Chain A
Amino acid sequence: MALSKLSSPSSLSTNILKPLTNSFLLHRPISTDTTPLTIETSVPFTSHQCEAPSRSVETTPKELLSFFRQMATMRRMEIAADSLYKAKLVRGFCHLYDGQEAVAIGMEAGITKKDSIITAYRDHCTFLGRGGTLLEVFSELMGRKDGCSHGKGGSMHFYKKDSGFYGGHGIVGAQIPLGCGLAFAQKYSKDETVTFALYGDGAANQGQLFEALNIAALWDLPAILVCENNHYGMGTAEWRAAKSPSYYKRGDYVPGLKVDGMDALAVKQACKFAKEHALKNGPMILEMDTYRYHGHSMSDPGSTYRTRDEISGVRQERDPIERIRKLILAHDLATEKELKDIEKEVRKEVDDAIAKAKESPMPEPSELFTNVYVKGYGVEVFGADRKEVRSALP
């Protein structure tokens, strides 16, 4: 059965090398072993000013199953956030990442927690990938105390310092110079780690990107700029915003690589390659060709500037979770039922986290004034009415 999974209706079917044990059908329990598998990516890499890495990616069954589980969690989390927003428990802005999970997962697989990641406002899944918990995500979205920023940041300001996740930034493109600064600090401390600064195809037209890239290339900083190209900058398609849509070539003298962002293994390979490159030769640009199913944010239906056929087409042909599912089933690492069970578990986890987050209290009024400064000096602060809440800055 495993052998005949080679051809699938998808046009981008993976070329699967035959597994060694294929003599008879063994019902193996979900395998957590680490025998290496080599799988080819869906499409080869396109490179600019450098040698593309090989198409064959080393992975293990354990890794593939963890991909599946984590991506299912992310997908479930984003859909739950959608419902929470519609129920008005999450207010303001909510930018969802479903469809792009492979980028977050693949990147995590290719690097360590000592490397830094910084991204823009579509940060829920990246935060989760860096080790954040579902409770922290949902509490922060609902503005509760248990959130990762204690309710004061919101959807666009998730941070996790101990695992090198630097946020979570609202202004388009502003995180790129910050990311190059992180890389500078890594070079300064001789850490042998790198920084991945993620941005979108909309931010790719910002001047500060090129300014930061120039400085990074000049000073040989271990910075990797990753363009998550989901082809739409809010409501504007990329061909209407950018004269040159090859974002990986935009660095000119900086090498670039174009990657299929819906293939977690390709992303993993590219990130590993980029890390080695950046530690030796300075910055690099990765362009992840990906897609978001939701609109830009919850206030955007997502269908005024693209057809529903396009969205469902991508969902059928390129969905990252489906790809991993097919891989797992093809290599007989788990059965359909087991995968469905995982998804049920994940669903339950998410629901539990939401229930727990709903119980978490709102921050105290005095929290309004905490963490404005690091060490206070007792300056008196008060709100507009000057009577209701008055306190000294702690």
Chain B
Amino acid sequence: MAAIFLGVGAATALSPSNCFDSKKFQLSTRRSLSGRKPWFLVVRSDGSVNLGSNQRSRRTQQLITNAVATKADSAASTSASKQGHELLLFEALREGLEEEMDRDPHVCVMGEDVGHYGGSYKVTKGLADKYGDLRVLDTPIAENSFTGMGIGAAMTGLRPIVEGMNMGFLLLAFNQISNNCGMLHYTSGGQFTIPIVIRGPGGVGRQLGAEHSQRLESYFQSIPGIQMVACSTPYNAKGLMKAAIRSENPVILFEHVLLYNLKERIPDEEYICNLEEAEMVRPGEHVTILTYSRMRYHVMQAAKTLVNKGYDPEVIDIRSLKPFDLYTIGNSIKKTHRVLIVEECMRTGGIGASLTAAITENFHDYLDAPIVCLSSQDVPTPYAGTLEEWTVVQPAQIVTAVEQLCQ
């Protein structure tokens, strides 16, 4: 979509979002300016820039596809040996799961359609045949109780992995996750550990509708006692899955519906990613861009454009949503002095809001400019394709935000 961006002057955003920094999201077609030069910048979907006052939107079906498929040139993080094997993200998850189930007989999987059906996203395909019905359990549609059962089983030492078919369904199990999963270790004075993994796909997909496009990381982030991680590549998906299963704490692993078919070459050797560490995707000098999950690909797409324009963004995939890896983030901020957060969460109370607060508190002296946070609009995700695109952050907006930040 060709987005029309105003020049330096500030303008109010189109949607009634309550973002306090309205420079961030501008989607106006006809807007009068308050002061400064009235020039229009039209950024087309392929990254080329036209100056002019023509204001037509274009369909950008391709933009999203590009963002997901351009995997090859974005990450230098896979320190894979050349002999690694290639697989898709859901297969990487399955590999991690299978290796852990082989290693430890206490690991079991429970969820809807994970057993005989093979998992609605094929993550657990073939596992029921291999390990039997007692280790890969098909549950009825009762999230509250099977999450509770997973937690009860974890109290005795089993290591269940509870799959929510869509993260949004886990809202039904919120009581169990918040009160029992997060708090039992504390309220029992350390007697019980809950080594459970709760995982599932979330995020805005392809026109799935409002209730199936939820981002629960913002709801869960204040529960004390749990850890949250978000995977984004096959490499870190497998590594984080293994780390989460081995961790003694309850871990919520956020996957994304649109990322399951990413292909990457990962090492043959066993490896585990650190649950609390962020991933440096692209080192740079001018600005730190913090992101996670699918927005990583939008950011990398925008990074290509930015590099062409002469900017050098440092892209960090924060991966660990709770707690934040302030060490890596801090070092980056000390180098670049500018921060842009790009996330898929809602504006209000999202991961970006917490991250902004954490960075401001800890690294305020190192910042040359206010922190800019690009998030999804505070609206239920609409069904219509064009509206859905405007709900999430697009690469063009990222480019503009960086340009404004670096002025």
Interface residues of A (CB under 8 A from B): 116, 118, 147-154, 157, 159-161, 166-171, 174, 176-182, 184-189, 207-208, 211-212, 214-215, 218-219, 370-375, 377, 379
Task: Please choose the segment from B91-99, B183-191, B203-211 that sits at the chain A interface, where 4 or more of its residues have CB less than 8 A away.
Answer: B183-191
Could you say which of B152, B187, B191, B192 contacts A177, with CB atoms under 8 Å apart? B152
Please state if A185 and B152 are interface contacts (CB–CB under 8 Å): yes
| A179 CA to B176 CA, complexed, in Å | 12
Interchain residue pairs with CB less than 8 A apart (10): A148-B189, A167-B188, A177-B151, A178-B152, A178-B155, A181-B151, A181-B154, A188-B158, A212-B142, A377-B323
The contact string, 1 if C-beta is below 8 Å from chain A, for chain B 79-121, is 0000000000000000000000000000010000000000000
Name the one of A157, A182, A377 contacting B156, with C-beta atoms under 8 angstroms: A182
Q: Would you call B367 an interface residue if the criterion is a C-beta within 8 Å of the partner chain's C-beta atoms?
A: no
User: Judging by beta carbons under 8 Å apart, are A178 and B149 in contact?
Assistant: yes
The reply to whether A153 and B142 contact each other, CB–CB distance below 8 Å, is: no
Q: Beyond A184-B152, A375-B248, is A177–B276 a contact (Cβ under 8 Å)?
A: no
CA distance A171 to B175 in the complex (A): 8
Q: Which of these, B186, B247, B276, contacts A152 with CB under 8 Å? A: B186
Give the residue of A211, A371, A373 whose beta carbon is less than 8 angstroms from that of B189.
Answer: A371
Q: Are B155 and A214 in contact (CB under 8 A)?
A: no
Contact with A along B221-249 (1 / 0, CB 8 A): 00011010000000000000000000111
> Does B150 belong to the interface (CB within 8 Å)?
yes
By secondary structure, the A interface counts as loop
A215 lies within 8 A of B139 (CB): yes
Contact indicator A215/B187 (Cβ below 8 Å):
no
User: A-B contact count, CB below 8 Å?
Assistant: 147
| Least CB distance, A172 to chain B, in whole angstroms | 10
A373-B144 contact, Cβ under 8 Å, with A182-B156, A212-B149: no
- The answer to whether B249 and A374 touch across the interface, beta carbons within 8 angstroms, is yes
Collect the chain B residues with CB atoms within 8 Å of residue A157's CB.
Answer: 187-188
- Are A177 and B147 within 8 A (Cβ)? yes
For the complex of A and B, 4 pairs with smallest distance between CB atoms: A181-B152, A177-B148, A178-B152, A211-B142
A55–chain B nearest beta-carbon distance, Å: 34
Q: Is B22 engaged at the interface, CB distance under 8 Å to the other chain?
A: no
A208 and B176 CA atoms in complex are apart in Å by 11
- A186 (CB) vs chain B CBs: closest residue: B156
Measured in the bound complex, the distance between the Cα atoms of B154 and A375 in whole Å is 17
Q: How far is the CA of A239 from the CA of B320 in the complex (A)?
A: 50
A174 contacts B188, C-beta separation under 8 Å = no
B152 interface neighbour in A147, A160, A179, A374, Cβ under 8 Å:
A179
| A180 engages B145 (CB within 8 Å) | yes
A167: chain B residues within 8 A (beta carbon): 184, 188
Among B317-334, those with CB < 8 Å from A are: 323
Q: How far is the CA of A118 from the CA of B185 in the complex (A)?
A: 16
Contact with B175, one of A160, A174, A179 (Cβ below 8 angstroms): A174
Tell yes or no: B134 within 8 A of A by CB: yes
A177 to B323 Cα, complex, angstroms: 29
Q: Within 8 Å of chain A (Cβ to Cβ): is B193?
A: yes
Chain B residues closer than 8 Å to A186, beta-carbon distance: 156
Q: In the bound complex, what is the Cα–Cα distance between A182 and B224 (angstroms)?
A: 23
- Report the Cα distance A151→B187, complex, angstroms: 9
Q: How far is the CA of A179 from the CA of B156 in the complex (A)?
A: 11
Chain B residues whose CB sits within 8 angstroms of the CB of A149 once the complex forms: 187-189, 191
Give the residues in chain B near A153, CB-CB below 8 Å: 187-189
Chain B's nearest CB lies how many Å from the CB of A6?
47
CB distance from A131 to the nearest CB of B (A): 13
* B53 adjacent to chain A (CB < 8 Å): no
Query: Cβ of B145 and Cβ of A212 under 8 Å apart?
Result: yes
Do A177 and B146 have beta carbons less than 8 Å apart?
Answer: yes
Q: Which of B144, B153, B248 has the most CB of A within 10 A?
A: B153
B52 contacts A by Cβ under 8 Å = no
CB distance from B275 to the nearest CB of A (A): 9
Q: Which residue of A lies closest to B133 (CB)?
A: A219
A187 to B133, CA, bound (A): 12
When distances are taken between beta carbons in the complex, the residues of chain B under 8 Å from A373 are: 185, 225, 227, 249
Q: Are B192's CB and A161's CB within 8 A?
A: yes
| Chain A residues whose C-beta falls within 8 Å of the C-beta of B227 in the assembled complex | 373
B192:A185 contact, CB within 8 angstroms: no
Taking a contact as CB atoms under 8 Å apart, the answer to whether A208 and B187 are in contact is: no
CB pair A372–B323 under 8 Å, yes or no, is: no
Chain A proximity of B191: nearest CB distance (Å): 4
Report if B157 contacts A (CB, 8 A). Answer: yes
**Bound CA span A211–B146, Å:** 8
Inter-chain CA distance A181–B146, complex, in Å, is 8
